[in-house]
Amino acid sequence: MQDGIPGYVIVLHSCTAISVPVNLLAIFCITTQSSNTMKQYKWYLLNVQIWIFLTDIILFALIAPRFYFPLIAGTMHGIFFHIGVPYDVQTIIGFGTGVGMLSACIQTIQYRHSKIVPPNSILARSSRIKAFLNFVRYFLFCQVSLPAVITEPRNQIEAKMRVAEKYQFYPDFFFDPKVYLLQETPFFVFVPGSVVIFYVFIELSFYILQSFHQLNKTNSHMSERTKMLQKKYFICICVQVLIPFLFCIFPIGFLCFAIVSGYHVQVWNDMAVIMFGLHGTVATLVMLPLYQPYRNFCKSLLCCAFRPFSRVQSLTVM
């Protein structure tokens, strides 16, 4: 059993000191500095930012998990643990905020897609097809942690003994009551997670590809000025969402590899959690320079020309 990153819990808590001010700055910019052309779009951006903020706070401070993959087990070191919140409840909250943030990102891209397609499209903003797709997504996301939590071993000691016989390694403190064994096998964690990831990939790919197809059509229902504005907004949200997703490829890929292969390196387990947690901060730092009102406001802070609640009047986004 490797020791992992020294001071891992302190590192997690320290990330809160980075995440909180960055996210509060972004929320302030969206609510007070958004230009008139953004209209309802700013509320979708705000929804994404709030979910990012919640996810960061829960991961870094309230739960602060440490995983021991390929064992489906871990310890929790956050505020919830110290006030006695049950491990299964913390698991549901952790997964719930993660998929909530993911859903908010998809909703924002879906909104931009609905503004790009023709008004009579079956995927227009008020269509029943869109409502059905939202229902399917919410259903998949809500159940992602339930199979694992519902079927978790009730007798942790007996389950840990069976796991110890199955794997060649396990932590020296594996039988400590503080170590929570969610599942003896990865089936109820790996399968629901894989279904959600596959569905998200298909839905995002569809929205992105069809939107760019509509924006590049010679004959369009939009004027050239509107098309350029929509293209700028859509590129901004794609960059804002996809760059952090790329930032998550390593942690998600490693965790899947560890579960499937039975490979264990605790340092990589710890790094995966930290990198995944920081992807929200990366998303925020990418978002602020993308939109001209937010970029100008941040420049005013750096130049000590801060004027609270003075909205930028620019109509452009890039």
- For the chain, 318 residues long, the average pLDDT of each consecutive 10-residue run is 78 91 93 85 90 92 92 92 93 89 87 81 67 81 87 91 81 86 89 86 88 78 76 82 76 82 85 88 88 87 61 45
pLDDT at 87: 93
pTM of the model: 0.85
Look at the block and give the residue holding tokens 């960061």.
Answer: 56
> Regarding the domain with residue range 8-302, which homologous superfamily does it belong to in the CATH classification?
Rhodopsin 7-helix transmembrane proteins (1.20.1070.10)
Extents of the domains making up the chain: 8-302
Separation CA 95–CA 162 (nearest Å): 26
Residues paired with 180 in a beta bridge: 74
Q: Residues 6 or more apart from 162 whose CB is under 8 A from it?
A: 184
Interaxial angle between packed helices 266-290 and 41-57, expressed in degrees from 0 to 180 and rounded to the nearest 10: 150
pLDDT for res 1: 47
Record the tokens describing residue 217, joined without a space. 């059509």
H or E segment at 220?
none
The Cα–Cα gap between 295 and 291 comes to 6
| Helices and strands, number each (H, E), in the chain | 12, 3
162-167 long-range Cβ contacts below 8 angstroms, 24+ apart: 163/71, 163/73, 167/70, 167/71, 167/262
Phi, psi of 65 (to 5 degrees): -80, 155
